[in-house]
Amino acid sequence: MNDLLAQPSAQRDLRAVKTTQADIEKFRAAQSTARRDIGRRFPKYGNLIDPGPVPPGHIQLVLLPDEAVVSYYFGQYDSFVWVVPKQGTVRFLRLPTTLGALESKVAKLREALEPNVDRVGDIPPFDIALAHELYGELLKPTEAVWESAKHLIVMTNGPLGLLPLGLLPTAPTVMPAQTELPFANYRDVPWLARTHAVTIVPSAAALRSLRELPPNPRQRAPLIGFGDPYFSVNQDVTAEPDVAPIADQAPRVEAEAAPEQVAVDTRGPPFKLRPVAQMTGVDSAELAVMPRLPEPGMN
Q: What is the pTM of this model?
A: 0.64
pLDDT value at 298 more than 60: no
In this predicted structure, what is the pLDDT of residue 183?
84
Q: Is residue 220 part of a domain?
A: no
Cα–Cα nearest to 172, from 145, 136, 144: 136
- Least Cα distance to 238 among 296, 298, 286, 297 occurs for 296
HSE-CB at 270 with a 13 A cutoff on CA atoms is 9
Instruction: Flag whether 293 is in a domain.
Output: yes
Cα gap 117→141, rounded to integer Å: 37
Based on the fold, state whether residues 85 and 61 are members of the same structural domain.
Answer: yes
* 160 vs 291, higher pLDDT: 160
Residues 146 and 18 in one domain: no
Q: How many distinct structural domains can be found in the chain?
A: 3
Q: Are residues 26 and 96 in the same domain?
A: no
- State pLDDT tens for residues 8-64: 888 888 999 999 999 999 999 999 999 888 888 888 777 777 777 888 888 999 999
102-117 pLDDT, tens digit each: 999 999 999 998 887 7
Last residue of a domain, one of 211, 238, 271: 211
Q: Is residue 218 part of a domain?
A: no
* Dihedral, 195, 198, 204, 207 alpha carbons, nearest 10: -110
Please indicate, yes or no, whether residues 192 and 242 belong to a single structural domain of this protein: no
- Rounded-to-integer distance, Cα 29 and Cα 127, Å: 54
Q: Does 184 share its domain with 88?
A: yes
Residue 222 maps to a domain: no
**Is the domain of 207 the same as that of 271?**
no
Same domain as 294, residue 152: no
Q: Are residues 99 and 22 in the same domain?
A: no
| C-alpha–C-alpha distance, residues 71 and 55, integer Å | 13
Span of 207-216, 227-236, 246-255 with lowest mean pLDDT? 246-255
Q: What is the mean pLDDT of residues 254-259?
A: 45
Q: Residue 160: which of 182, 129, 137 has the closest Cα?
A: 137
Residues 73 and 109 reside in one and the same domain: yes
Contact 123, 100 (CB under 8 A): no
Considering the chain, what percentage of its residues have pLDDT values greater than 70?
81
Give, for 79, the enclosing helix (H) or strand (E).
strand 79-85
pLDDT at 120 over 60: yes
In a domain, 221, yes or no: no
List 272's β-bridge partners, or say none: 263
Residue 271 domain-assigned? yes
* Cα 24 to Cα 21, 27, 32, 50, 187, distances in angstroms: 5, 5, 12, 21, 62
Whether residue 61 contacts residue 79, with contact meaning beta carbons closer than 8 Å, is answered with no
74 and 44 both lie in a single domain: no
Q: Can you give the residue range of the structural domain that contains 192?
A: 56-211
Across residues 228-235, what is the average pLDDT? 79
pLDDT category, 234, cuts 50, 70, 90?
confident
Residues 100 and 182 in one domain: yes
Q: Mark whether 45 and 70 lie in a shared domain.
A: no
Q: What is the mean pLDDT of residues 224-237?
A: 80
Domain membership flag for residue 219: no
Q: What is the CATH number of the domain that holds 192?
A: 3.30.420
